[in-house]
Chains A and B, each alone.
Chain A
Amino acid sequence: MTFLLAAIIVAITLGVTFWASKRNTSAGDFYVAGGRISATQNGIAIAGDYMSAASFLGITGLIALNGYDGFMYSVGWFIAYLTVLFIVAEPLRNLGKYTLADMLVYRLKDPRVRTYAALSTIVISTFYMIAQVVGAGSLISLLSGGAIRADLAIPLVGVLMIIYVVVGGMLATTWVQIIKALLLMFATIVMTLLILSRFGWSFSNLLGQAEAKNGAEFLGAGLKYKNPVDLISLCLALVLGTAGLPHILVRFFTVPTAQDARKSVVWAMVLIGAFYVMTAFMGNAANVLLGKDAIEAANKAGNMAAPLLAQALFGGAGTVGGEFGLAFVTAVAFATILAVVAGLTISASTSFTHDIYNGVLKGGQASEKDQFRVARMATVAVGIVAILLGLAAKTQNVAFLVALAFAIAASANLPVILFTLFWRRFNATGAIWGIVGGILFTLLLIALSPNIMKIDPADLTTGRHLIQANPIFPFENPGLFSIPAGFLFAYLGTMLGARRRDAAEDARHFEDMQFRAYTGAGAEGTVAAHD
């Protein structure tokens, strides 16, 4: 049953991919679907791009096992979109064509910045990708009841995402994300309605039963996060990191105007917000209906909470309804994995082709045809690297890589984006220092943190830590320290790189950038019309 539904999803998405292939004939089509996606479609696609398996399976599991603390994640992941809406989405659309680097280079007029911006995009996408691919391996093996082992599941997902992106480009990726977002919303809404009908349409009643089962602390904060500083640090990276995630930013180039970019974010906020509110119902209901022990027995991290909850809601194990519910939610989780890795793949290969190959190596002179060819080759390369890294890391503890990607995005990209848009004196040296310093400092803190340095019991076979020693940096989340450091590096670089001769020039570039960012003048022509 599960395989049948997953096969149907794969068949539909492949069908869409081959339909999209007819309209995927130039570099602009490949990178951003020719900039012809509508605001509504893009908003749904952003939701599909953003809500990873970690959100759907992970958060439901976290709440089922840790109560209230799991739900705090949900809030941060939603609120992050206010940062995107108020600060990033519209200027980005007005100033750039295909990548974040376009916007920075437009303002700073220095081709070196392009290299470093592309580097940060590729670093962030790689970490995020490893987390997704390794997660996909263990999830698919878990969801298929061990029938598909991780070392088979990882290449399977890798090959599918290569097909989506190479054949269908951004148009296919967008539709895979839309289909997945709609499936996910449908599954979540149906489950939430069934939960409410079981608990007398009362959240209070549901919480009361959760409390009766687990004790009062289940409803309060503190079961998971013992350290307030670590919690605040995590929240800071979530709220500021989203606005610097390359695979989210690239979505704003797929719409024609800044107004569409704005509407996209609002649509995304409706879907993402509704989804995360429902995680509170799903997580608590999974705890009450299944019990902690059964959830942990299926998977220590709680990843099976959502599929098992669907089974229970639709009639329980062994019933036709129950098996269908389990299969459906499992298939949706599979679609979720595909949509997210496809989005990451295309943002990495776009950045490589548009920024590094065309921008740096070819001095912006590569032909459309040439770029299109290289972009597809880059996609295959990115896919193969992702598969190899996923296989290499499959027994490692990689859950922290998502938090790491957010921390790097918040520490390396966000300070540079903010200074680019709002600081008249900012210059290329500042941007390079900010990006490189932000990445390196975040990596250093992570390397010294309990994510990497921890002594595991000798019999632990999965999720082992890389360095078997006591951590030097005590917090799991570096954001609180690395984000201010990113701002400081960008500031110092600006001051040290400032030359009196260029100051007037820099200021003029700022004026020019500001006019275009605020009015959209000259931005309408950024996307080549493709007839």
Chain B
Amino acid sequence: MTVSSAPPIPRNAAYQQLVAQRNAFTITMTVTFLVLYFLLPVLAGYNKPLMAQKVLGNVTFGYILAFLEFVMGWVMAYLYIVKARTFDRLAAEARA
């Protein structure tokens, strides 16, 4: 299976833009959420006093951080939806 029947692919400016933007976005977002997420187990493992610190009434820093992780997940998903409209537009131009 070395013969590909696909015609040579046209590489227009929209496609170049799409690949560059999409890769930049993916890498930035992925690194950001991994770093922010791993704050939780790292602090839980190595800074228990901070995690047990009460911040709002009896709600500890640990719970606040965990709830913020959920907010982060939803916000990032929303940012991606917004950004993906641009990707979809560029993809349509690239296919043309």
Contact = CB atoms under 8 A, between A and B. Distances in A.
* Same complex origin of A and B: yes
Interface in A220-278: 220-222, 225, 227-229, 231-232, 234-235, 239, 259, 262, 265-266, 269-270, 273, 276-277
Most B C-beta atoms less than 10 A away, residue of A111, A227, A269: A269
A228 B73 contact: no
Contact of A269 (B4, B67, B77): B77
Interface string B1-18: 110101001000001001
B67 A509 contact: no
Contact of A220 (B2, B19, B62, B87): B62
A520 B73 contact: no
Most B C-beta atoms less than 10 A away, residue of A69, A211, A518: A518
Contacts of B51: 68, 220-221
Interface stretch (A80-88, A320-328, A348-356, A400-408): A80-88
Contact of A515 (B15, B23, B37, B44): B15
B1 A110 contact: yes
A45 to B, nearest CB: 18
A197 interface: no
A78 B75 CA distance: 13
Contact of B80 (A85, A109, A221): A85
Contact of A231 (B1, B44, B62): B44
B66 A232 contact: no
A67 to B, nearest CB: 10
B67 to A, nearest CB: 7
B41 A273 contact: no
A502 B63 CA distance: 53
Given A78-B73, A211-B58, A518-B22, A71 B33 contact: no
Majority DSSP secondary structure for residues of A touching B: helix
Interface stretch (A155-163, A199-207, A467-475, A487-495): A199-207
A514 B16 CA distance: 11
B63 A207 contact: yes
B86 interface: no
Given A231-B45, A508-B4, A85 B52 contact: no
A277 B58 contact: no
Contacts of A265: 77
B60 A75 contact: no
Contact of A86 (B4, B29, B37): B29
A86 B30 contact: yes
Nearest to B55: A204
Contacts of B26: 86-87
A109 B91 contact: no
A85 B51 CA distance: 29
A217 B77 CA distance: 34
Interface in B34-73: 34, 37-38, 40-46, 48, 51-52, 54, 56-60, 62-63, 66-67, 69-70, 73
B37 to A, nearest CB: 5
A207 B54 CA distance: 11
A105 to B, nearest CB: 9
Contacts of B46: 228
A204 B57 contact: yes
A3 B25 CA distance: 51
Nearest to B52: A220
B34 A68 contact: no
B60 A515 contact: no
A20 B62 CA distance: 46
B23 to A, nearest CB: 8
Contacts of A85: 77, 80
Interface in A436-459: none
Given A86-B26, A519-B15, 18 more contacts: A69-B44, A78-B70, A79-B69, A85-B77, A86-B29, A207-B57, A221-B45, A221-B52, A222-B48, A228-B44, A232-B45, A235-B37, A235-B41, A269-B73, A269-B74, A280-B67, A515-B94, A521-B94
17 contacts: A68-B60, A68-B63, A69-B44, A75-B66, A82-B77, A204-B57, A217-B52, A219-B58, A221-B44, A227-B45, A232-B38, A235-B41, A259-B84, A259-B88, A266-B81, A269-B74, A514-B19
Interface of A: 68-69, 71-72, 74-76, 78-79, 81-83, 85-87, 109-111, 202-205, 207-208, 211, 216-217, 219-222, 225, 227-229, 231-232, 234-235, 239, 259, 262, 265-266, 269-270, 273, 276-277, 280, 422, 502, 505, 508-509, 511-512, 514-515, 518-522
In the A-B complex, list the 10 residue pairs whose CB atoms are closest, starting with the nearest: A228-B45, A220-B52, A204-B57, A221-B44, A208-B58, A207-B58, A519-B91, A235-B41, A221-B51, A204-B58
